[in-house]
Structure 1
Amino acid sequence: MGTCTVETDANISSGLESNTTGITAFSMPGWQLALWAAAYLVLVLVAVTGNATVIWIILAHQRMRTVTNYFIVNLALADLCMAAFNAVFNFVYASHNIWYFGRAFCYFQNLFPVTVMFVSIYSMTAIAADRYIAIVHPFQPRLSAPGTRAVIAGIWLVALALAFPQCFYSTIIMDQGATKCVVAWPKDNGGKVLLWYHLAVIALIYFLPLSVMFFAYSVIGFTLWRRGVPGYHAHGANSQYLQAKKKEDIYCHKFIQQVYLALFWLAMSSTMYNPIIYCCLNRRFRSGFRIAFRCCPWVTPTAEDKMELTHTPSLSRRVNRCHTKETLFISGDVAPSEATSGQAGGPPDGVPTES
C-alpha cells in the first residue's frame, strides 16, 4: 500500500519506533476484514502444510532424493517462507495501511520475502535446466550431490544480493499520523539508482529465467515428440508478481485497497499450487501425501504407498526410448544379496531412482 501525499525527510526520525494505531482512510468494516482474513488464512494453511509435506516426502525417503527433487525442496522451502512471512504481514499492513511491526521488521520484510521470491524463480529455472540435461542429453553426467548443494547455495546468494537494496533503503515514515514501512530510494542523479535496480531486476528475474525455461521446455517437448518417448511431467513456472510501493494519486481512492488485497492474494496463491500439482500428477508424491495424512479419517494409505517410497530392490523398470511403451517387471521376494547381484534387475539398496 502506498501514501496519498509525498512526504519530506523531516517525517523520518528515530522516534517512530512506536506504532500508530487508530482509524485510517483504509479501515474496512468488520465483516469485510473477516472475509479477507479467512481467504488469506486458507492460503497460508494450504501453502505451509502442502510445501512442508513435500519437503518431508523428499528428505525422509531415500528413493526421492534425486537432483530434480532437491531443487523441488528448495522451491517448496521458498514458497513456504513466502506464504508464512510475506502473505500474513502484508495482509495486516494492507488491511489498515499502518505498519505495526517496528523498524527492524521493516528491514526484514523488505529483504527475506523478496529473497525467497527470487529463490522460487531461480529454483524453477534450475529444474528446467536439469530436465533439459536429463532428457535432451541423457548420457551426459548429472549433477552430483555436492554440485546440487553448490547450485542451491548460489541461488540463495544471488537472491540475497538482488534483494539487499530493498532492505538497505527501507525506512519508517509518518504519513498523516500513520506509521508506514517504505523503500525510500535516493532521488539524486535523476533517480538513476532506482532505474538501474529495476532494469537489473527485470533482466535477471524475468527475462533471463523465462528465456531459459522457454528454451529448455521447448527443446524438451520437441525431443519427446520426435522420439515418441513417454512424457515427463515438467514443472511449470508460476508467475510471480514483484510488488512495488509507489506514491500516486490512485492510492487516495478507497477501492484500491480491495484491488490490492485481491491481486496480492492471487500472487501469493502461487505458493500453494505446486504441492497440489505434485499430488495430482505424480504417484510417489500422491503416496507420500497419503502416508503423511494417514491420521485423517478419510485417508487410508496402502502397502503399495509405502513400497512406492521405500521398496526398491525388487522393482525393476526398463524404459525403451525407441517406443512409446513402458514395461514394468516386478520380481518376487529375493534375498538382499541376490538383489544386489543383479538377479532382480534393479538398482542396489541406497541408489535413488528418478521420481
Structure 2
Amino acid sequence: MGICTVVTDANISSGPESNTTGITVFSMPGWQLALWAVAYLTLVLVAVTGNATVIWIILAHQRMRTVTNYFIVNLALADLCMAAFNAVFNFIYASHNIWYFGRAFCYFQNLFPVTVMFVSIYSMTAIAADRYMAIVHPFQPRLSAPGTKAVIASIWLVALALAFPQCFYSTIVMDEGATKCIVDWPENNGSKMLLWYHLAVIVLIYFLPLVVMFFAYSVIGFTLWRCAVPGYHAHGANTHYLLAKKKFVKTMVLVVVTFAICWLPYHLYFILGHFQEDIYCHKFIQQVYLALLWLAMSSAMYNPIIYCCLNRRFRSGFRIAFRCCPWVTPTEEDKVELTHTPSLSRRVNRCHTKETLFMNGDVAPSEATSGQPGGPQVGVPIES
C-alpha cells in the first residue's frame, strides 16, 4: 500500500500486501482508541473462552469424540488462535502504526494468521465432506481415527505451505523513525507477485472452499429433505435420527454463512486497494479498517454461540463448564447428555458388503454416541 496508509495487515492471509505502511498524519483520539480496545478485548475474551470450552466438551467426554467433532475441535483451535494472536497484535499495529514486537514475531505474524484461517475454513470443508459421505453415501467406508488425524495434519501442513511465501519475505524496516513489519517482495515483478499471491490466497481460503461446501450442503439438504436417505425410514427412532441430521446440517450451514459474511467485506477491501490505492489516503480509512478487521475477527467467536444455541448436548456442556457462575445451574440431565449412551440402538448388517449402516462417525454433535471415530456403532439420538 502507499505512503498514506494508516493501518496495516501484518498478519491476515487475505491482505498480504497490507503489511506495508507509512507514517501518516492520521491520529486517533483517546476515547476512540478506548472504545476500539473494549470492542477487541470483548471479541478476544468471548472467542477464546467459547472455543476453549468447545474443545473441552468434546475431548473430555468420550461420547463426543467422533470424526465430525474432531474436525470441530480443529476448527475451534484455529478460531481460538486467530482471536488470541491475530486480533490482538493486528489491532495494536493498526491503531499505533508502529511495530513493537521485534523481527521474530514479525515473521510469525506473517505466517500464522494465513495458516489458521486456512485451517479454519478447511475444517469446515472437511465437516461438510464427512457429512456428505455419512448422509448421501452411508454404506461407503468412513474415516478411521488414524485417517481423521492424517486429514487434520494435512490441513495444517498445506496451510503452512500456503503462508510460507509471505513469511519468507517478511522484514523489519525503519520508516521516518517508526518501526514497520512489512512483506518486502522482490523488486523484479514484485507487484505482480503480490497481486497473484493475494488472489491465490483469496481463492484458496475463501471462494473455493465455499463453493465446495455449497455443493456438499446442497446435495445433503436435497437428500435429507426429500427423505431419500438410504437405509432410513419415516417412522419411529429413524425419524428422530433423520431430524437430528437435519438440525446439524442447519447448524453447520449457519456456521459457514456466518464465516462468509464476516470475511467478505475484508477481502473486498484489499481487492479494491490493489486497484485504487488512493483510498488509503482518506482520513476515515483507519476507522473503516478497524471495523472490517473486527468483523472478520469476530467470526472466531460466533461458532461456540451457535453450537450452544442450536445443540442440546453442547448447551449441556456449557452449563457444566460454567457451573461456577451463580446464574448457571447444570442439571442431572445435562450430565446424562454428555455421558449416557442411548439404550435404543440397532445394528443393520449387510450380508454381502459386511458394512454397518450407522457408524460411530456418522453422528453430529447432537447425535454423538460413545466410541472412537470410525468404529462400528449404531445409535439413535435421544434428542436432535
TM-score bracket, shorter-length normalisation: 0.7 to 0.9
Structure 1 residue 49: Cα displacement: 0.1
**Distance (Å, rounded) in 2 between the aligned partners of 1:227 and 1:245:** 11
Match of 1:332 in 2: 361
Match of 1:166 in 2: 166
SS at match of 1:227: coil
Structure 1's 145 and 174: CA in aligned 2 closer, same or farther, altered over 3 A?
Answer: same
SS at match of 1:339: coil
Unaligned residue ranges in structure 1 (runs of 5+): none
CA contact (8 A) 1:17 1:102 kept: no
CA contact (8 A) 1:314 1:334 kept: no
Residues 1-355 of structure 1: matches in 2 within 5 Å?
3-4=3-4, 25-189=25-189, 191-227=191-227, 248-312=277-341, 314=343, 316=345
Structure 1 residue 216: Cα displacement: 0.2
CA contact (8 A) 2:121 2:209 kept: yes
**Distance (Å, rounded) in 1 between the aligned partners of 2:237 and 2:64:** 21
Structure 1 residue 212: Cα displacement: 1.1
Structure 1 residue 103: Cα displacement: 1.2
How far does the alpha carbon of each residue in 1:50-83 deviate from its partner, in whole angstroms, 9 at most, with x for none?
0000000000000000000000000000000000
**Distance (Å, rounded) in 1 between the aligned partners of 2:176 and 2:138:** 62
When the two structures are aligned, how many residues end up with a matched partner?
Answer: 355
Tell me whether 312-321 or 47-56 shows the greater mean CA deviation. 312-321
SS at match of 2:319: helix
CA contact (8 A) 2:13 2:201 kept: no
Unaligned residue ranges in structure 2 (runs of 5+): 248-276
How far does the alpha carbon of each residue in 1:87-107 deviate from its partner, in whole angstroms, 9 at most, with x for none?
000111111111111111111
Structure 1's 27 and 209: CA in aligned 2 closer, same or farther, altered over 3 A?
Answer: same
Structure 1 residue 24: Cα displacement: 6.0
Structure 1 residue 347: Cα displacement: 9.2
CA contact (8 A) 1:250 1:256 kept: yes
**Distance (Å, rounded) in 2 between the aligned partners of 1:291 and 1:350:** 24
Identity %: 90
**Distance (Å, rounded) in 1 between the aligned partners of 2:15 and 2:206:** 39
Structure 1 residue 340: Cα displacement: 14
SS at match of 1:75: helix
SS at match of 2:291: helix
**Distance (Å, rounded) in 2 between the aligned partners of 1:15 and 1:146:** 35
Structure 1 residue 171: Cα displacement: 1.3
Structure 1's 84 and 6: CA in aligned 2 closer, same or farther, altered over 3 A?
Answer: closer
Structure 1's 207 and 240: CA in aligned 2 closer, same or farther, altered over 3 A?
Answer: farther
SS at match of 2:157: helix
Larger radius of gyration: 1
CA contact (8 A) 2:20 2:180 kept: no
Structure 1's 260 and 324: CA in aligned 2 closer, same or farther, altered over 3 A?
Answer: farther
**Distance (Å, rounded) in 2 between the aligned partners of 1:236 and 1:338:** 16
How far does the alpha carbon of each residue in 1:149-202 deviate from its partner, in whole angstroms, 9 at most, with x for none?
000000000000000111111112222332211111123146443244234324
Structure 1's 17 and 230: CA in aligned 2 closer, same or farther, altered over 3 A?
Answer: closer
Tell me whether 226-235 or 100-109 shows the greater mean CA deviation. 226-235
Structure 1 residue 305: Cα displacement: 0.4
Tell me whether 19-28 or 140-149 shows the greater mean CA deviation. 19-28
**Distance (Å, rounded) in 1 between the aligned partners of 2:243 and 2:293:** 8
Structure 1 residue 114: Cα displacement: 1.4
SS at match of 1:23: coil
Q: TM-score under structure 2 normalisation?
A: 0.72
CA contact (8 A) 2:10 2:90 kept: no
**Distance (Å, rounded) in 2 between the aligned partners of 1:8 and 1:333:** 44
Q: TM-score under structure 1 normalisation?
A: 0.78
